[in-house]
Amino acid sequence: MTSRAPTIVEKYEALVDAGVLERDVSQRAAIERLQALADALAGRRAKKGGLMRAVVAGFRGRTSRARGLYLWGPVGRGKTFLMNLFFSALAIDRKRRAHFHAFMADVHDRLHRLRQNPGACAADPVTCVAQEIARETRVLCFDEFAVHDIADATILARLFSSLLASGVVIVATSNVEPSRLYEGGRNRDLFLPFIALLKEQMDVLHLEAPSDYRRRGEDLGQVYFTPADSRAKTAIDALYATLAGGAAETPTTIEVKRRRIEIARAAGRVARFDFAALCGQALSAADYIALAERFDSIIVENVPTLAPEQRNETRRFITLVDVLYDARVLLLVSAAAEPFELYHASAGSEAREFERAASRLIEMRGKDYIEACASLTASTCIP
């Protein structure tokens, strides 16, 4: 007799019982909702009575089509972790998990190919791309749903409308409630139909866990150095040599969408950059994704404290951290200050997004992250 795979709820409870997680009422409620969605997608019936049956009914609504979930809350409350539990337990072949940056980069690549060959699409190119994705994917899981690019904002309503109409179920995590997406963005009125669509077609759940678990500062590894002085440089020099594993340093180039990115310092699977070279010029999420695919370790030196007027540099640094975190790339940093002191602004979308980046920077120097990094590479990440 084949043993039954544990449910999402059972996996969560096992982690709590083992002391890996602390019991949290808000997380437990989110897990119930994710379990209900997984059951609805698999066509399983909930047990009679109780909360679970009501939740499943809510996900199915008046039709048999499962509704997606938009899970939002402050940084470090476990949104990504919960979504990963859901995704790994989902018994569906056509499923896809992606950081929102990577997904939109793929969408724009597909749009570009269609525009190069107009005869391949008789309808609106955005609709054609959505239908193409729908043929490949039944469930889309997005991590860190955030919209800053007007090119993304102008197509999202059409894209998601077509995806949802094709039966694609979407699960997304975000730091902000739907009504605050693209807040302050140019031509935001063109984006409002997307917010209305999201609220109508997806269930919205606020994760209200009480504290940022990443800020506990446990098991910090020596991969983040402050201040960025001669001692930090000496330590990074030693780590660079170890990570290179004897490979000679040589300039290299990677190509992204017919553009060439010059990398002055690289050795084996590790690349070394100054902050100005990586975040002071017009690089995009697609460029950082290409770097994450090419290198197992990235060194970023001389990260300064950033002011509100340095919006572009701040945005690029946030994107870089998100991409490397999602790809489990080891990040070594020398910086002017600790993560939560690197950006000074009291409000605005960058302030909210940087809080997430700072929280992730702390997690990325913790033992669990470093060990996860090491498990993905042939070499040891930290000597």
Q: Which of 66-70, 266-270, 330-334, 367-371 has the lowest mean pLDDT?
A: 367-371
The count of structural domains within the chain is 2
Average pLDDT, the chain: 84
My answer on whether 183 and 310 are in the same domain is no
How many Cβ atoms sit within 10 Å of the Cβ of residue 188? Answer: 15
Structure tokens at 360: 């992730």
- What is the C-alpha to C-alpha distance for residues 350 and 352, in angstroms, rounded to an integer? 5
For residue 383, tell me if it sits in a domain.
no
My answer on whether 29 and 170 are in the same domain is yes
For residue 275, tell me if it sits in a domain.
yes
My answer on whether 52 and 24 are in the same domain is yes
For residue 320, tell me if it sits in a domain.
yes
Owning domain of residue 306: 213-375
Quick one: three-class SS letters along 35-70? HHHHHHHHCCCCCCCHHHHHHHHHHHCCCCCCCEEE
Stronger pLDDT, 52 or 208, i.e. the higher one: 208
- CB of 61 closer than 8 Å to CB of 40: no
Reported as a single tens digit per residue, the pLDDT across 91-104 is 888 999 988 888 88
Of 173, 187, 177, 118, nearest in space to 326 by CA: 173
- What is the C-alpha to C-alpha distance for residues 157 and 382, in angstroms, rounded to an integer? 44
163, 191, 206 - which closes a domain: 206
Identify the top-confidence range among 43-47, 152-156, 289-293: 289-293
My answer on whether 59 and 188 are in the same domain is yes
- What is the C-alpha to C-alpha distance for residues 348 and 272, in angstroms, rounded to an integer? 31
Confidence of residue 381 (pLDDT cuts 50, 70, 90): very low
Structure tokens at 279: 């975040």
My answer on whether 63 and 174 are in the same domain is yes
How many Cβ atoms sit within 10 Å of the Cβ of residue 51? Answer: 12
Reported as a single tens digit per residue, the pLDDT across 138-166 is 999 988 888 888 888 888 889 999 999 99
For residue 2, tell me if it sits in a domain.
no
For residue 382, tell me if it sits in a domain.
no
My answer on whether 162 and 265 are in the same domain is no
For residue 367, tell me if it sits in a domain.
yes
- What is the C-alpha to C-alpha distance for residues 371 and 49, in angstroms, rounded to an integer? 43
What are φ and ψ of residue 309, in 5° steps? -75, -15
My answer on whether 252 and 195 are in the same domain is no
For residue 380, tell me if it sits in a domain.
no
164, 189, 206 - which closes a domain: 206
My answer on whether 152 and 288 are in the same domain is no
Of 205, 344, 335, 221, nearest in space to 278 by CA: 335
- Strand 252-256 and strand 259-263: the pairing is antiparallel
My answer on whether 167 and 254 are in the same domain is no
148, 171, 206 - which closes a domain: 206
Q: What local confidence, expressed as pLDDT, does residue 49 receive?
A: 44
Reported as a single tens digit per residue, the pLDDT across 113-147 is 888 887 778 778 999 999 999 999 999 998 888 88
For residue 363, tell me if it sits in a domain.
yes
My answer on whether 224 and 328 are in the same domain is yes
My answer on whether 253 and 123 are in the same domain is no
The number of residues making up the chain comes to 383
Quick one: three-class SS letters along 134-196? HHHCCEEEEECCCCCCHHHHHHHHHHHHHHHHCCCEEEEEECCCHHHCCCCCCCHHHCHHHHH
CATH number at residue 138: 3.40.50.300
Long-range contacts of 245-253 (CB under 8 A, 24+ apart): 245/379
My answer on whether 103 and 16 are in the same domain is yes
E-strand spans in 310-358?
Answer: 330-335
At residue 28, what is the residue type?
R
